[in-house]
A and B are shown apart, each in its own frame.
Chain A
C-alpha cells in the first residue's frame, strides 16, 4: 500500500558512471517531483513534471534528466556521476488541481554515494 516508492534505497557507484533512480506513485497524482537533500539536510527541488509540462530548476546540471514513461512513474537518470552528486534524492507527487495547497507526498529517498 506504499504511496510513493523509490528504488534503489541505497546506490553506491564510481565517479563517471551513469545511473538511474526509479520512482512510482499509486496515488493517482498527475505531478511528480525530484528533490536533492544535501549533507546539511536542505531540500532543493530539481524538477517538477506532469503530462503537460517539465519545469527544470536552472541550477541543475544537464547531466540530470527526468524520464516519465507514464503519469505514475518519474525516473531520474544521471550521467557522468560526480562526487558532488552524493546526496539523498527524494521523489514526491501531488495533484495538479490541488496545486494551491501544494501538498506533496514524498518517497522514502535514495541515498546516492559516489566514490
Chain B
C-alpha cells in the first residue's frame, strides 16, 4: 500500500534552534518527493523537490535529504525563525501513474 508517514506530528522549538522533520514512504515506483510549507489559513507552498538521484537539496535555511534506499526523507531547518511556524507536508509522487501521496504533516511552532 502506498503511504507517506511523517513524524513528529507536532514540534515546539525555541527561536534560533535547529530542528529536523521526518518523512517515511512506501510509494513504489518512486518519482519524486516534495516538501511543502503551509502557513495557517493559507495553501501549501513548495519548498523543495527531489528526484531519485538527488540526496540533498537546500532552499535557504531549509535543507531536505532523501535516502531512496530506505525510503526516508528529512527536512532540516536551521536557525529557526518565528515565521517558520507552520505545517510541513511531505508529498511523494509515484505509484505507477504519478499519483500524489500526502503525509499528514508536522505542525511546527517556533516560540521566542
Interface residues of A (CB under 8 A from B): 4, 40-45, 90, 92, 99-104, 106-109
| Minimal beta-carbon separation of B109 from chain A (angstroms) | 14
What is the interface of chain B mostly: helix, strand, loop, or mixed?
strand
A43 in contact with B31 given A90-B43, A92-B43 (CB within 8 Å) = no
Which residues of A sit under 8 angstroms from B91, Cβ to Cβ? 102
| Minimal beta-carbon separation of A20 from chain B (angstroms) | 19
| Minimal beta-carbon separation of B56 from chain A (angstroms) | 17
When C-beta atoms are compared, the residue in chain A nearest to B98 turns out to be A99
**Option from A42, A44, A103, A108 in Cβ contact (under 8 Å) with B43:** A108
Q: Is there a chain A Cβ closer than 8 Å to B19's Cβ?
A: no
Q: Is there a chain A Cβ closer than 8 Å to B23's Cβ?
A: no
Which residues of B sit under 8 angstroms from A109, Cβ to Cβ? 41-43
Which residues of A sit under 8 angstroms from B102, Cβ to Cβ? 42-45
Interface residues of B (CB under 8 A from A): 31-32, 34, 41-46, 49, 87, 89, 91, 93, 98, 100, 102, 104-105, 107
* Given A99-B98, A108-B43, 7 further pairs, Cβ under 8 A: A41-B107, A45-B100, A90-B43, A92-B43, A103-B49, A106-B43, A109-B42
Which residues of B sit under 8 angstroms from A101, Cβ to Cβ? 32, 49
* Alpha-carbon gap, A109 to B46, bound state (A): 16
**Option from A40, A44, A92, A108 in Cβ contact (under 8 Å) with B42:** A108
